Amino acid sequence: MVKAKRRVGIFGWGLVAPRSPNIETFEENLSAEQTWLAPFDGYGPSNFLVGTPEFDFEAYKPWIDSRFEPRKFPQLSSKMGPNVKYAIGAFIQALGQNPGMEELLSELGPLAHVYVGTGLGDLSVAYDASIAQYEAQRRWTAFWCQPDQNPELASYRSLPPGERPSHRASIGAPEDPQDLETESEGFDQARSAWLSFWLTRSVGLRDYLAELGGIESESIGEDVETSKGHVIRRKMMARKRLNQKYGCPLEPWASVDAKLLWNIANIPAAQISMLGGITGPAMAPTAACSTFGVALKCALNAIELGQAKVVVVGATDPPPHPLSVSSFYSARVLAHDGAVSKPLTGMRGTHVSGGACIWIVGDAEYLRQRGMNALGLEILGVGLSSDADHIITPSEEGPRAAIRLALDNAGIEANRVAAWDMHATATPGDWTELLTALSVLPDARAITARKGSFGHGMAVCGGWELTAQHLGVARGTLHPVHISPDEIHPIIQPHLNRLVKNEPMDVEGDVAGKINMGIGGINSCVVCRRWEEAESADPRPAGD
């Protein structure tokens, strides 16, 4: 006897997106014609449009204050970067659709999991830490290369200019930047190499480090809990006195806030586990633009194997930053003419965005017995594949394989897929992607491509796009995409009637599919189906 496959539904969802601090506003914006994108000010004036999340962490303070000690919210506010805060906000939203979900997640122990990934990590936190360390290193190096701290360098400088080259050669010193024009190419690199060399020969630094080593050599006593605080404070005060003695600046290794560690890739998932009292595994699947689909696949596997009853899945991305905008631009996939670039039209490139999307998915039968209502569509299957070809240009066979795997996993014939959402980044790959999809799904009649609305979140894009699809297909009508027929690229015009444009489109069927194609060649395809009306309703008798 073949065991019946567990049915999986969504029982909570929340998000943060451009112009959309919550899922209610997100749905309203899907029908509004106003662009969600805005000019990027990271360089001063520029021609880039980006999707900056609309978000206020203070909105979640009452929820946190009601469950934790007063210092919890200030601690989160000061130590967590945007990535973590967006995920926290979306998670708290997701708890709101089904009363009792918060308590259930805690009660389930190891049967509740958290899989929340990120694409780029928290760039703003890493950038600030990098700048702080760089500036501190420059000050540190310059100090220990002063004449009173570095007699050997002072002696070199006292040599006649004609004797300096042979002396540099004898000690293996690099080129002296004083021999170069200040504005010449390579001057900054030469100066950095020069000072780094002499830093290693500083007598003052050698003496300083010897004294510092003596301070840091003190170990924790036998009574660990009692002595650790005293030892830490003694070392701190001794280091402060040592720096005063030498008059040196802050050490470069002391210049980077530990905030960098508190915002690594797994911390959004970890903070959700802590705030939700979720003791099952919490981790960060990372698969670029396919992250949300990969997280869903992990959740389906865990639920099907009986390892989890409920899984919090999602993705979170930082707000647009000069680093992300610059790297997308250098990859030649970014629009930069000051106008909105829509998929399937001029193919001028995409727009960088940030935010989060969190779903709470679970064993539908189990959760309905607990009195909870399903949202959106039933999740039937997820297919994953890799192109094994190019780091950024999708292949044809890789996405096609993911689609077929998703259909097989869902137990659905290709001709039943009525609605299809593209990855479509408004680049030349849109055309290849459309042909690839139609080669497997020739009957798909309601095709959407929404990155022209909210932009391209590296990891979160799939979550936003799936949520938009579910909101529409669940009631049989997809929200408009705000592309006029005359904007569609000439090569795509023959497929015009299949595309959702600037008017809502009815869905003639109950099955929807969605593809994401991530940098590195990782593909995820999700296939879902509309619930029967009775299946999404509260199964408890009236009055319970």
Give tens-digit pLDDT for 285-316: 999 999 999 999 999 999 999 999 999 999 99
Measure the N-to-C terminal CA separation of the chain; round to a whole number of Å.
36
* % the chain with pLDDT above 90: 90
Average pLDDT score over residue span 49-73 = 98
pLDDT at 533: 74
Angle at 469 between CA 483 and CA 5, to 5 degrees: 155
CA–CA separation, 245 and 44 (whole Å): 43
Q: What is the pTM of this model?
A: 0.94
For domain 8-121+264-532, is the CATH number 3.40.47.10?
yes
Average pLDDT score over residue span 248-262 = 95
CA–CA separation, 294 and 291 (whole Å): 5
- Domain-by-domain residue ranges, the chain? 8-121+264-532, 127-254
pLDDT at 539: 41
pLDDT at 543: 37
Give tens-digit pLDDT for 422-435: 999 999 999 999 99
Closest CA to 518 of 340, 394, 338, 389: 394
pLDDT at 184: 81
Contacts with 147 (C-beta within 8 Å, 6 or more apart), sequence order: 153, 154, 157
- Centre a 10 Å sphere on the Cβ of residue 231 and count the other Cβ atoms it contains: 14
Give tens-digit pLDDT for 477-512: 999 999 999 999 999 999 999 999 999 999 999 999
pLDDT at 385: 98
Q: Collapse the DSSP code of 155 into the 3-class scheme (helix H, G, I; strand E, B; otherwise coil) and give the result.
A: helix
CB of 504 closer than 8 Å to CB of 477: yes
Distance of CA 111 to the CA centre of its chain: 25
pLDDT at 228: 79
Q: Looking at the predicted structure, is the pLDDT value of residue 540 above 70?
A: no
Closest CA to 302 of 112, 95, 527, 98: 112
Band of pLDDT at residue 24, cut at 50, 70 and 90 = very high
Give tens-digit pLDDT for 334-366: 999 999 999 999 999 999 999 999 999 999 999
Q: Looking at the predicted structure, is the pLDDT value of residue 538 above 60?
A: no
- Centre a 10 Å sphere on the Cβ of residue 242 and count the other Cβ atoms it contains: 15
**Nearest 5°: phi and psi at 361?**
-115, 155
- Packing angle between helix 291-304 and helix 461-473, nearest 10 degrees? 70
Band of pLDDT at residue 544, cut at 50, 70 and 90 = very low
Distance of CA 275 to the CA centre of its chain: 20
Q: Where are the beta strands (DSSP E) in 472-530?
A: 477-478, 505-506, 511-518, 522-530
CB of 48 closer than 8 Å to CB of 336: yes
